[in-house]
Amino acid sequence: MIITIASFKGGVGKSTTALHLAAFCQMRAPTLLVDGDLNRSALQWASAGNLPFKVVDEKAAVKFARNYEHIVVDTPARPAPDDLKTLASGTDLLILPTSPDALAMGAMLQMVDALQGLEADYRILLTLIPPAPSKVGEEARSSLERAGLPLFKTGIRRLAVFQKAALEGVPVNEVKGDSYAGIAWRCYLEVGREIMP
pLDDT in tens, 29-40: 999 999 999 899
Structure confidence at residue 147 (pLDDT): 95
Q: What is the pLDDT of residues 93-152, one digit of tens each?
A: 999 999 999 999 999 999 999 998 888 899 999 999 999 999 999 999 999 999 999 999
Cα 163 from Cα 76, distance rounded (Å): 20
Q: What is the pLDDT of residues 69-90, one digit of tens each?
A: 999 999 988 888 888 888 889 9
pTM: 0.95
Mean pLDDT of the chain: 95
**Domain ranges (residues) in the chain:** 2-195
For the beta carbon of residue 118, count every other beta carbon within 10 angstroms: 15
Cα 148 from Cα 163, distance rounded (Å): 33
Q: Which CATH architecture has domain 2-195?
A: 3-Layer(aba) Sandwich (3.40)
**What percent of the chain lies above the pLDDT cut of 70?**
100
Structure confidence at residue 111 (pLDDT): 94
Residue 164 pLDDT exceeds 90: yes
